Amino acid sequence: MSLMLSAKPVKVCFMMSTRICAEKFRRKQSDPRKAKQVYLNTLAVAAVEHYLNSLGWVTSHEQSDSWNPIMQTLMDVADLEVVNYGKIECRVVLLDQQELIVPPEVQSDRIAYIAVKISSSLRKCELLGFIPEVTAESTSLAQLHGIENLPAYLREYKQLQDDKVSESITRLSQWWEGIVDGAWQLVEQIFPPNTAGSFRSPHQLQELPQSSIDRLSQGVSRVKLLDLGQGNNTIPIALILQLVNNAQGEIDISAKICPINTSLYLPQGLEIMILDDSQRSVLQATARNNNENIEFLFSGQSGEFFSIKASLNESHIVETFVI
């Protein structure tokens, strides 16, 4: 979006409750410099929260590191959680300061950085403007975008994020039309015929009759290779999906996780979950010794969402689908 540079600042007066909270946090710090930093950061976060709340935005300082005494001690942090959007960093600007200073520890995982100029009386402040991202520790205040543009920026940011999520959803209905993302390959390109193992989840979302299981081989199937872990410690696995229409107008689905390369068995402790459209686990299974694969059989209606989550130690992969 096109953002105008900062125009008229927004003035905010601190309520007594805000100053009391800032003082409470300040007293938890033994170092005077850190105590002052925490006090000012608390005021800055409260000012931005008041401004956003007055415009109808939902925020949660309770979910922010800036309200956590431990994180206050460890970091120079002034973040504010905007519910369903992400974190905004509320940086204090001193009276003689001509730059917005953003310490390295908060230069990522933020959707915007707001400059908050606090008066010498510590009773009011001005929201000077914001920048969407930082590439250095200091930015000239002349480069700030007008604070009045912040709501529009947040809405567009959210839309862009939603579009990215939408693009990452695999639309299974398109498979019937031959529209398949390149990451999904034909099963025979990866596995020779009759190499499927026999392990199946004991808890099935909707257990299919044998006739449906037999018909799955007549439907559409694709496989995607996934890597669990990082760097040189990745473990490759394959996710095979098979789809077939049933007589009730639904889609019967087989979701199978298999080892690839030279591995005969899935890694012990690998957990597979089927998640509903609210990301709640509706069934799951964990690989034990000598499991050749994990398979779930279930049915769904057109337009329904589900996800498959694979977890091993601290590594997680989630694939989301719409039927």
- Among 206, 229, 46, 58, residue whose Cα is nearest residue 124: 46
How are beta strands 220-228 and 251-259 bridged, if at all?
Answer: unpaired
Residue position matching structure tokens 């939603």? 162
Q: Are 78 and 45 in contact (CB under 8 A)?
A: yes
Q: What percent of the chain has pLDDT over 70?
A: 86
Q: Could you tell me which residues are beta bridge partners of residue 234?
A: none
What average pLDDT does the segment 293-302 reach?
91
Q: What percent of the chain has pLDDT over 90?
A: 55
- Among 27, 22, 28, residue whose Cα is nearest residue 40: 22
How are beta strands 124-131 and 79-82 bridged, if at all?
Answer: unpaired
Confidence at 212, pLDDT banded by 50, 70, 90:
very low
| Average pLDDT along the chain | 86
State which amino acid sits at residue 29.
Q
Strands (DSSP E) contained in 246-288 are 251-259, 271-275, 281-286
Confidence at 199, pLDDT banded by 50, 70, 90:
very low
Residue position matching structure tokens 């975008």? 145
Confidence at 181, pLDDT banded by 50, 70, 90:
confident
Taking only the tens place, the pLDDT of each residue in 78-130 is 999 999 888 999 999 998 899 999 999 999 889 999 999 999 999 999 999 99
